[in-house]
Each structure stands twice: as C-alpha cells, then as structure tokens.
Amino acid sequence: MARADEIIGRTVRDGKTRYLMEHESKSILEELDIATTGGTLAYSEAEAVKIFEALGGPAVMKVVSPGVVHKSDAGGVKLNISNSREAKAAYSDIIAAFGEANVEAVSVQPMAKPGIEAIVGITRDPTFGPLLMFGLGGVFVEVLKDVSFRSIPVSPADVSSMIEEIKGYGLLKGARGYAADLPALRQLLLQVSGLVLAHPEISEIDLNPVFLYPEGYVVVDARMFVDGVAGGAPARHGNGSLRKFFYPESIAVLGASNSEGKLGWNVFHNLVSHNFEGKLYPINLQANEVQGVKAYGAIGDVPGPVDVAIVLVPAAATPKAVEECCARGIGSIVVESAGFAELGADGRKAEEEMERTARRYGCRLLGPNCSGIINTHSNMVQSIGAVAELGKGNVGLIAQAGVYAAGMLWGLRHIMDFGIVATIGNKLDVNETDVLEVLGEDRNISVICMYIEDVKGGRRFVDVARRVTRTKPVIAVKSGRTDAGKKAVSSHTASLAGNDEVYDSVFRQCGIVRARDNEQMFAVARGFSKQPLPDSAGVLIISYAGSLGVMATDAVNLNGMRLAELEPHLKTRLRSILPGMTSGLNPVDYTFSMSADDVRKTIEIGVESADVGAFIVILQTEILDRYVAPLSGIDYKGKPVLACVACKEFVTEDVIAMEKAGIPVYATPETAAEVLSAMYRHNLTVKSPQ
Ligand code: ADP
Ligand code: MG
C-alpha cells in the first residue's frame, strides 16, 4: 500500500493536521480497489470547466481545504452540475464561500446515481481499540442511530452479523425496490478493517455516504484522521498461569487475627471453617497461634512453599507487605486491603508502587480493594465477610466488589450453587479478562456470570471471551451505561460510538449474553447450570391456565423460539389423555384441575417428539409442593424443563425445593422464554464450526 504509506506518513510527519481530505482518503481506498466517485482537482475556473466537460455527464464539485472537515455545511458541495455554465458558477460560488486563500482546489467528480445511503466508519475506542462501524446513512443514522460496531480484526461472520443486526437490514436484503449487493458490502467492510490493521496510525474513518446498489456500491465521500500512536491492549506483568490463585496448596494470610470482628479474623476464619484443604500460614506480629493454627511473625519466616499470599494489613503498610511476599518468591498475591486508588492520589501512588514491585518480581496481583476468591471445589473461602456453608456448584461469578458478590452469594445459595466467585477490586494487575480465561478452562465451572463496570483487557477481552463462549455460556451485566466524560470527537463514527453501544456490539461479537440486571443474569445462569441445552427451537408448553399459556406462546415466539409440532401418533396419544374441554395441543391447557400426573404423562409424550426441544411447565402456585417429587422423577431424555410459577416469591419454600430438585423456577413466562432462548442460541454456537 505505497500510496497509503506516503499520504499517512506525510500527514503524521507534518504534524500540522491529522486530517486526510476527501481526495487523499479516496486515493488510499482506490489503491485497495474500493470503488469511489474519485475527483480531479481543479486549480482554476477554466480547469474546472474543462474537467467537467471531459466527464460527459452530471457532476459534483467540492471544496478541497485542510481547514474544512464538513464540506457541505458551509456551501462547499455543489451537486447535479449539468452544463458548463453551472460548472463555472459552482466553482466561483465555492471560492466565494470560503475565500481564495482557504481553498486549496476544487474537486470535480461524477455525480453518482442514487442508491441506499450507508455509512462505514472506524473509531478508536478507549477500551477496545479500533472499532468498525456500519449503518444506514441519512435519517437512519441521524435519528435512529441504527448502527452496529465490531472490534477489529473482524471475521467474515462478524461482518455478516453486523450488517444483519441493524434495523434497516430488511431494506438491504431487498424491499420496495431497494436492495444492496451484500457480498460487495461485506467485502468493503473487511477491506476497511484490513486497512486499519495495516495502518494502525489511522484513528478514525468516515465513509459517509457510501451508495449501495443492487450491484456494487460507490464511496461518495471519505475522510480519515491519523495520529502517531497506535492503540492496543495494555502490557501484562507475566505470562504465568493464574490457576494457582484458584487452586493453591498453601496460603499465607498477612494480617490474620485472633480478634473477632476484625477483617483479618473473618478471612482466616473463613479459610479454617470451610476446611481449606491445603496448608495455612497466619502471619501475625504478636501471636504464636491464630485461631488454633501456628503463626509466624513475618512472611520470610514461613518454612515451606507458599502458593498464595493474602494481604490484609492497613493500606499504608501494604506496599511493603507486597514487596516481602514477592521477595519470598510468592507468585500469586491477593491484596484485600482497601484505601487505594478509590480514595485518591496517595492511594494511586501506593498502587503504582505495588505494581512496579509485582512487575519487577514477575508476580501476579489480585486487587487491591477486593474480597479475594471463593473456590468451593478446593474449600477455599477468602472473603472479607463471614460466609455460610456453600454447595459445590458449577457457576462462576466474576465481580468487582466483595460486598456485591457476598450479597448475591448469601441469597442465591438457596437456589443455586456457585463453584468459583472471584472479586477483582481495583484490577491493578489481574483483571476480568484474566479471570474469565481461567474460569473458561476450569472443568468445575460450566457457566460464567460477570458483573462489569469497565473492561481492562482491551482487544484481549474480545479474543478470550470469544474463545470461552464457544464452550461455556458467559452472561454479563454491564453497568455505567451513560456516556459521562466522553471526549470531543471529530468523526461521525466516533460520535456514534457511545459506551453502551460499543459494549453491546462487543458482547454480541464475543457471544456474551447481556443481561438487563442481576435478576435476569442469575435466571439465565440457573437454566444453564441445572438443565441440558435444547436441541430444537420447538417448545412444548404445559399450563393450567389458558392465559398463561398464551403469554408463554408469545414470549417463546418473541425470543426466537416457536411452539413444537407433535408427530401425528403423538398427537393421538396426547388427545387420549386430555380432558374434553381443552382446545389446542400446544400449549397443552389442563385448566385448574391439572395434576402432576397430567404433566408427567404429557412430558413423556413430548420427549418422544423430534420437534420438542424443551418444556415450559406453568404450575399452580398454591400447590407447587405437589409437583416437586413427580417432576424431578421424570426421564426427560436430555431435554430441558423450566417451571413457571406466578407470584413465586410468596411460596419460597416450595420454590427452593423445586430448584434444589434441579428445575429452575421463574415468575413469568417471559423470563422462562428468555432463558430457553439463550440456551438454544448457545447450543447453536457450540455446534457451529469454528
Ligand atoms: P460532507 O463533507 O458535508 O460530508 P459530502 O461529500 O458527503 O460532504 O457531500 C454531501 C452530500 O452530497 C452527500 O451526503 C451526498 O448526498 C451528496 N454527494 C456528494 N458527493 C456526491 C457525488 N459524487 N454524487 C452524488 N452525490 C454526492
Ligand atoms: Mg459526507
């Protein structure tokens, strides 16, 4: 790409402007065989008329000036020039509008025939680096913000899905005389992505508009911005595995205490009372024993190897404690102490010191300001708050704050079991991407929940998440959805890349299920955690109330699933057990007299059907207890079943019994359908070729 090198190199060297004008940008595109309306530069009126006449058709004239970014705003674009007189007038109008001194030249180019107006762009996101954007132009982008993003590099599948996910996709596919050449468009998007990979100095691109035709497309306007710095993921400390953090054979606790109520008491008590399987070394200046375990005055005095050190000393003493642990050769350090960057400049300085130390020794550091890790599979509870008995589950949770995780854990332990809960605090070193990678490889974990405020791993997050979601579902709640503090931007694309839109697109790109809130996240997690994945989109709904059956039908269809169609012999079998007054065969409506036996018989018919991928059973709240044993005794032949119980929050005990029997219970058919749909889509991902 010699021309691109030359133009970009010149602009970066000049340093006067970071802006590549339309003709410069187009010449970079043309080098890649991207179709544009081109443009010949005229330096006088006579030249402009000559170029126009040589074009032999309607033309467009545009101002060429390094000081003008939005040409048409100030009268710098003249359209539909159809004779020499108009050409002359257009030229002099442009000169008059901007003043001779400000105009480098006037670009004369053919007037493109109308097509579907689209916008293709690049912006650089502070978190994920370069992003590719696609959307429909004009009113679609201005009013509806109908655009999609993907983190670069993009795959052909990414490009297809970003085209398909915009609301205007129907138009592109072909509707009311409109249509776009989708293969050509996909190719264009891949080329723009490739251009930025080859030239990371390009920070922003607007191809706005691109006219899309039933055959081909043409880039009508282009601008680019460059700078000398290429964005990228931040450097990491070391490449050592983080698995030790989760499965240590020995833990030292700096600040372990005998005074009940102190955090150092809580953490050590959690380790002892949950029967941590490895060796424990409390470090305490005064005591010979902490909670019955032999104590040491300094980390340097500990005899055997130490896999993990938990640091719980006051903030001011923490950097020194970290240094001592590093010097002792401990590779994994959990800093639970608080009072750092979250409190201001001094705290940030202390963090920087710890970071330098860790880097120097090649140690990994979790926290500070976190509540450590819980791994029920190694009986390890490092939490700052006292934690009650836990089951050994298959759900992983990654959270920033300990209090949040503790609250979830305390309440949810009745209806779901976590395997690993990792709190990452201020993410000085180990961040959500790192933990996601470890949980992705952990055989004890089969579904991962994440609470995210911001992502630190940059593009690495996309790559890791994408790899993990090919085998395990990842469900995330992302907060901080507003755009406070966004810096001023020059390109249209950048102005559209709001934080929330970017996260939405990136989650989609990596196959992460984005949940509205905690409630939905754990609803989905329970489905994945307790039930097999549906193989077919067909759902058999069994209900005691017609209205709930109808609602479930709507919800199933709205979530991309459908009602299953039983085979004729199964229909006959089902009819023979249905009471006379019921109408349809799906939803199967047994009315208020429905019994556990009815549900069992229906499910036994449903499991025989090739079209039934899953069951939603809508049960009477007031007799929920009668269903627990019969429903958990059925052979579902690998098909998932979800229960829906209106007002379930008032029959807590029965709900807990049902959940403990392995059947998730949801309050509304909508939630049940959302969960099933996430499970079905995940199954498609798992089965799809790489
Ligand atoms: P701006 O710098 O204001 O974005 P553009 O080059 O995009 O300037 O021109 C403004 C509008 O004029 C475009 O959105 C498009 O509708 C129309 N236009 C510009 N160039 C052409 C062209 N060569 N053929 C057809 N329409 C054009
Ligand atoms: Mg434009």
Atom of ligand 1 nearest to the CA of 110: 23
pLDDT band for position 494 (cuts 50, 70, 90): confident
Mean pLDDT of the chain: 92
Indicate if the pLDDT at residue 74 is higher than 90: no
Report the pLDDT value the prediction gives residue 47, as an integer from 0 to 100. Answer: 96
In terms of Cβ atoms closer than 10 Å to its own Cβ (0-12, 13-18, 19+), residue 300 is: exposed
129, two tokens: 């680096």
Find the mean pLDDT for residues 680-687: 93
Q: Whose CA is nearest to atom 19 of ligand 1?
A: 220
Best mutation site among 77, 119, 205, 217 for ligand 1 pocket (most ligand atoms within 8 Å of CB): 77
Nearest to 109 by CA among 78, 74, 65, 85: 78
Indicate if the pLDDT at residue 579 is higher than 90: no
192, two tokens: 């723009």
* Dist. CA 383 → ligand 2 center (Å): 55
Report the pLDDT value the prediction gives residue 33, as an integer from 0 to 100. Answer: 96
CB neighbour burial string for 624-649, b if at least 16 within 10 angstroms, e if fewer: beebbeebeebebeebbbbbbbeebe
Q: Whose CA is nearest to atom 10 of ligand 1?
A: 72
Indicate if the pLDDT at residue 238 is higher than 80: no
- Residues 6+ away with beta carbon under 8 Å from 119: 133, 134, 135, 136, 137, 141, 147, 206, 207, 208, 209, 210, 492, 493
Indicate if the pLDDT at residue 510 is higher than 50: yes
SS3 654: helix
Indicate if the pLDDT at residue 485 is higher than 50: no
Residues less than 5 Å from ion ligand 2, measured at CB: 208, 221
pLDDT band for position 483 (cuts 50, 70, 90): low
Q: Whose CA is nearest to atom 17 of ligand 1?
A: 79
> What residue has token string 């996240």?
521
Cα separation of 330 and 324, whole Å? 9
Cα separation of 49 and 59, whole Å? 11
What residues are paired with 295 via a beta bridge?
none
Report the pLDDT value the prediction gives residue 211, as an integer from 0 to 100. Answer: 97
Contact 376, 350 (CB under 8 A): no
Indicate if the pLDDT at residue 498 is higher than 80: no
Report which bound ligand comes closest to the CA of 70: 1
- The letter for the amino acid at 341 is A
Report the pLDDT value the prediction gives residue 14, as an integer from 0 to 100. Answer: 76
Find the mean pLDDT for residues 237-261: 88
Lowest mean per-residue pLDDT among 264-278, 305-319, 582-596: 582-596
Residue ranges of domains in the chain, CATH in brackets: 38-110 (3.30.1490.20), 116-226 (3.30.470.20), 243-456 (3.40.50.720), 531-687 (3.40.50.261)
Cα separation of 368 and 348, whole Å? 11
Best mutation site among 64, 72, 207 for ligand 1 pocket (most ligand atoms within 8 Å of CB): 72
Lowest mean per-residue pLDDT among 198-202, 397-401, 518-522, 581-585: 581-585
Lowest mean per-residue pLDDT among 222-231, 386-395, 452-461, 657-666: 222-231
* Dist. CA 224 → ligand 2 center (Å): 12
Indicate if the pLDDT at residue 405 is higher than 50: yes
Q: Taking the CA of residue 231 as centre, how many other CA atoms within 13 Å lie in the half-sphere pointing to its CB?
A: 21
pLDDT band for position 488 (cuts 50, 70, 90): low
Report the pLDDT value the prediction gives residue 481, as an integer from 0 to 100. Answer: 62
CB-CB neighbours of 404 under 10 Å: 15
* Dist. CA 12 → ligand 2 center (Å): 23
Lowest mean per-residue pLDDT among 51-55, 373-377, 450-454, 631-635: 450-454
Report the pLDDT value the prediction gives residue 582, as an integer from 0 to 100. Answer: 60
Q: Whose CA is nearest to atom 5 of ligand 1?
A: 221
What proportions of the chain, in percent to the nearest 5, are helix, strand and coil?
Answer: 40, 20, 40
- Residues 6+ away with beta carbon under 8 Å from 300: 324, 327, 328
Q: Whose CA is nearest to atom 14 of ligand 1?
A: 209
Find the mean pLDDT for residues 207-230: 91
Q: Whose CA is nearest to atom 6 of ligand 1?
A: 221
Indicate if the pLDDT at residue 117 is higher than 50: yes
* Dist. CA 3 → ligand 2 center (Å): 22
Contact 471, 439 (CB under 8 A): no
Indicate if the pLDDT at residue 622 is higher than 90: yes
pTM, rounded to two decimals: 0.90
Instruction: Give the DSSP letter of residue 58.
Output: -
pLDDT band for position 240 (cuts 50, 70, 90): low
Rg, Å, the chain Cα set: 31
Among left, alpha and beta (phi > 0; psi -120 to 50; other), residue 625 is alpha
Phi and psi at 422, nearest 5°, equal -120, 125
Q: Which residues line ligand 1 (CB under 6 A)?
A: 37, 60, 62, 70-72, 77, 79, 109, 111-112, 209, 220-221
* Dist. CA 195 → ligand 1 center (Å): 23
Report the pLDDT value the prediction gives residue 484, as an integer from 0 to 100. Answer: 52
Q: Is the dihedral of CA 125, 130, 132, 138 positive or negative?
A: positive
